């Protein structure tokens, strides 16, 4: 690899900063680790950047990803393929499945620049799996049905990389935990990205294998994650993704950073299929919650986000915003798997209700509600209520919390909504 240090770049913002400070000190570059085995490439260098100075990499070798690992919390500006973004990086702890400072690179243009907003020592990890693997799948392929799920096998995506370390724990899954891969959204070679995560988890973290049970790419492709090695099913192997609280969980990672960008339709479609399939397989309900042995709160949903149990923004605000639609669609598909009729078509929009949060009365507007099918709390327990069809309102005596209401609308369609009670 070659390292270039240069103070002339095109970004005005950076240029101004450089002019103002005119300091560029790079004290040390130490190749502190270099592993080269089969198709694996993993190396670490140590760097020092003065505030506002620039580290620029333009190498002959194309890396799939880098990890910025500072000595203390620091903001970095990254310039990559004319895209500029800012990240906050903290000293890396191996408990993390993927930090924001793990950044996928475009392999065709492996150039990037880094500017720090303070004097900082940091390590820069380079990852690559030299993956000339093209995986093509027909568009709109159904990934899961009620009885099975189709996914790209480890033997395909992991080809040429070191094998995972044996030793697996079988778990009874009560919670499907959704993650995103954070970092940047520049990934275009999804298989290379999965390989880079595998190398991060096995080489940097020293884990036995990749942390997740499944990874979903932006094109909707589903990758098998942690290799069960014959111990149990793919979806019943304990992973490493939930801040050391992995018992009873199955981890699904969506490739991409979904703090500000919405996930693709293909990603969400595959996620819904996998969730409905898994809940059906385990006999779980969409709106249920169960105690989680190490969770900070009492219970955790059968479909939950990483942030529901750990101190993190994962899987990103844009995924969390989709919660209601996601659960509704999964609930619909799950009912279909169970042969429950009566839902004529999916419908989310025609019913609106107010206020939310509510206190003692919830009122409907828009499409007329014919009947209330049920109101449940976040534990899935049925709640009592009084429905007045004439005034299109429900009287409630509920304690503070999150509830789900399922209604039968005029025309026979059913609608599921979440509401909050604040007394």
Provide, rounded to whole angstroms, the least separation between the CB of residue 47 and Zn ion: 27
Q: Which residue do the tokens 């839902």 mark?
A: 343
Contacting range for Zn ion; rule: CB under 5 A; set: 267-275, 306-314, 344-352, 396-404: 306-314
Distance CA 118, CA 155 (A): 44
Provide, rounded to whole angstroms, the least separation between the CB of residue 258 and Zn ion: 11
Provide, rounded to whole angstroms, the least separation between the CB of residue 248 and Zn ion: 16
The encoded tokens of residue 59 equal 């190498």
DSSP 8-state assignment for residue 206: -
How many residues touch Zn ion (CB under 5 A)? 3
Comparing CB distances to Zn ion, the nearer of 274 and 314 is 314
Comparing CB distances to Zn ion, the nearer of 96 and 406 is 96
By CB under 5 A, is residue 306 in contact with Zn ion? Answer: yes
Comparing CB distances to Zn ion, the nearer of 108 and 311 is 311
Distance CA 34, CA 44 (A): 7
CA 211 to chain centre: 12
Contacting range for Zn ion; rule: CB under 5 A; set: 6-14, 274-282, 307-315, 328-336: 307-315
Comparing CB distances to Zn ion, the nearer of 98 and 237 is 98
Q: Which of residues 121-160 bind Zn ion (CB under 5 A)?
A: none
Distance CA 186, CA 143 (A): 24
Rama region for 140: left / alpha / beta (φ>0; ψ in -120 to 50; rest):
left
Distance CA 213, CA 206 (A): 17
Comparing CB distances to Zn ion, the nearer of 198 and 403 is 198
Determine if the peptide bond prior to 173 is cis (ω within 30°): no
**DSSP string covering 358-369:** BSSEEEEEESPE
By CB under 5 A, is residue 245 in contact with Zn ion? Answer: no
Taking each continuous run of H as one helix and of E as one strand, the counts in the chain are: 6, 24
Comparing CB distances to Zn ion, the nearer of 268 and 314 is 314
Among 176, 275, 314, 409, binds Zn ion (CB under 5 A): 314
Provide, rounded to whole angstroms, the least separation between the CB of residue 16 and Zn ion: 36
Provide, rounded to whole angstroms, the least separation between the CB of residue 210 and Zn ion: 13
Q: Which of residues 160-179 bind Zn ion (CB under 5 A)?
A: 179
Contacting range for Zn ion; rule: CB under 5 A; set: 148-156, 264-272, 302-310, 375-383: 302-310
Contacting range for Zn ion; rule: CB under 5 A; set: 16-24, 139-147, 258-266, 312-320: 312-320
Could you tell me if 340 and 404 are in contact, meaning their C-beta atoms sit under 8 angstroms apart?
A: no
Contacting range for Zn ion; rule: CB under 5 A; set: 107-115, 215-223, 301-309, 318-326: 301-309
Comparing CB distances to Zn ion, the nearer of 168 and 179 is 179
Torsion angles phi and psi, residue 58, rounded to 5: -140, 100
Closest by alpha carbon to 187, among 106, 268, 76, 254?
106
Could you tell me if 78 and 101 are in contact, meaning their C-beta atoms sit under 8 angstroms apart?
A: no
Enumerate binding residues for Zn ion (CB under 5 A): 179, 306, 314
């Amino acid at each position: 690899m070659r390292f270039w240090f240069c103070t002339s770049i095109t970004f005005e913002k950076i240029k101004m900063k450089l002019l103002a400070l005119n300091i560029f000190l790079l004290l040390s570059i130490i190749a502190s680790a270099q592993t080269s085995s089969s198709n694996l490439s993993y190396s670490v260098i140590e760097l020092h950047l003065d505030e506002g100075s620039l580290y620029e990499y333009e190498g002959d070798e194309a890396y799939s990803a880098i990890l910025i690992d500072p000595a203390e919390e620091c903001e970095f500006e990254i310039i990559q393929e004319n895209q500029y973004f800012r990240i906050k990086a903290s000293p890396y702890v191996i408990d993390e499945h993927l930090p924001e400072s793990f950044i996928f690179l475009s392999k065709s243009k492996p150039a990037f620049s880094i500017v720090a907003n303070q004097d900082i020592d940091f390590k820069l990890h380079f990852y690559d799996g030299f993956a000339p693997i093209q995986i093509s799948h027909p568009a709109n392929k159904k990934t899961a049905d009620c009885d099975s799920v189709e996914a790209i096998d480890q033997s395909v995506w992991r080809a040429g990389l070191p094998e995972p370390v044996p030793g697996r724990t079988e778990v009874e899954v009560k919670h499907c935990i959704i993650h995103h891969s954070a970092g940047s959204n520049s990934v275009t070679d999804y298989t290379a990205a999965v390989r880079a995560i595998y190398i991060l988890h096995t080489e940097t973290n020293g884990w036995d294998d990749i942390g997740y049970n499944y990874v979903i790419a932006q094109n909707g492709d589903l990758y098998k994650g942690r290799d069960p090695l014959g111990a149990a099913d793919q979806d019943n192997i304990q992973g490493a993704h939930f801040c050391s609280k992995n018992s009873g969980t199955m981890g699904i990672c969506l490739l991409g950073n979904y703090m500000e960008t919405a996930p693709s339709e293909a990603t969400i479609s595959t996620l819904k299929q996998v969730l409905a399939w898994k809940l059906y397989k385990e006999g779980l309900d969409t709106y249920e919650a169960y105690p989680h042995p190490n969770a900070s709160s009492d219970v955790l949903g059968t479909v939950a986000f990483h942030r529901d149990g750990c101190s993190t923004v994962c899987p990103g605000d844009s995924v969390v915003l989709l919660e209601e639609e996601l659960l509704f669609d999964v609930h619909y598909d799950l009912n279909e798997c169970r042969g429950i009729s009566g839902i004529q078509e999916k419908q989310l929009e025609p019913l609106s209700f107010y206020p939310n949060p509510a206190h003692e009365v919830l009122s409907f507007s828009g499409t007329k509600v014919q009947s209330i099918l049920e109101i449940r709390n976040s534990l899935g327990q049925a709640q009592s209520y009084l429905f007045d069809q004439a005034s299109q309102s429900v009287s409630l005596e509920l304690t503070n919390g999150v509830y789900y209401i399922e209604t039968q609308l005029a025309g026979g369609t059913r609608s599921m909504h979440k509401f909050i009670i604040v007394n």
